[in-house]
Amino acid sequence: MSGTQQMSTVMFYENSAWKKHKSCGTSSLLAMTPKKPQQWLQVVGHAGSFRVGDYGTLLKRFCEEEQQCYLRLMEDALRPFVPAYHGVVQQDEQDYNMMDNLLTHFNTPACIMDCKMGSRTYREEELLLARERPQPRNDMYEKMVAVDPEAPTVQEQAQQAVLKTRYMQWRESLSSTTTLGFRIEGFRKANEECHTNFKRTKSREQVMEALNNFVESNTHIACGYLRRLKQLRQVLEASDFFRTHEVVGSSLLFVHDWTGRTGVWMIDFGKTVALPPHLTVDHRTPWVEGNREDGYLWGLDNLIDILGNMLPQT
Residues that bind ligand I3P (CB under 6 A): 25-26, 121, 143, 164, 168, 171, 249
* CB closer to ligand I3P out of 164 and 256: 164
Give the nearest distance from C-beta 312 to ligand I3P in angstroms.
34
In the bound state with ligand I3P, the residue whose beta carbon lies nearer, of 25 and 263, is 25
- Please state the closest distance from residue 143 (CB atom) to ligand I3P, in A: 5
**294: Cα separation from own chain's centroid:** 14
195 vs 256, beta carbon nearer ligand I3P: 195
| Shortest reach from residue 145's CB to ligand I3P, in Å | 12
Report in angstroms how near the CB of residue 218 gets to ligand I3P at its nearest: 28
CB of 171 to ligand I3P, least distance (A): 5
Nearer of residues 144 and 307 to ligand I3P, judged by Cβ: 144
Q: Is 146 exposed, middle or buried (0-12, 13-18, 19+ CB in 10 A)?
A: exposed
Among residues 123, 135, 129, the alpha carbon closest in space to that of 163 is found at 135
Instruction: Give the amino acid at 16.
Output: S
* Paired strand residues for 94: 91
Q: Which is nearer to ligand I3P, 97 or 121 (CB)?
A: 121
Which residue's Cβ lies closest to ligand I3P? 25
Cβ-based nearer residue to ligand I3P, 66 or 293:
66
Instruction: Please list, in sequence order, all residues whose beta carbon lies within 8 angstroms of the beta carbon of residue 203, skipping any fewer than 6 positions away.
Output: 176, 179
Least separation in angstroms between CB 39 and ligand I3P: 24
Nearest CB to ligand I3P, comparing residues 86 and 143: 143
Residue number with CB closer to ligand I3P (53 or 249):
249
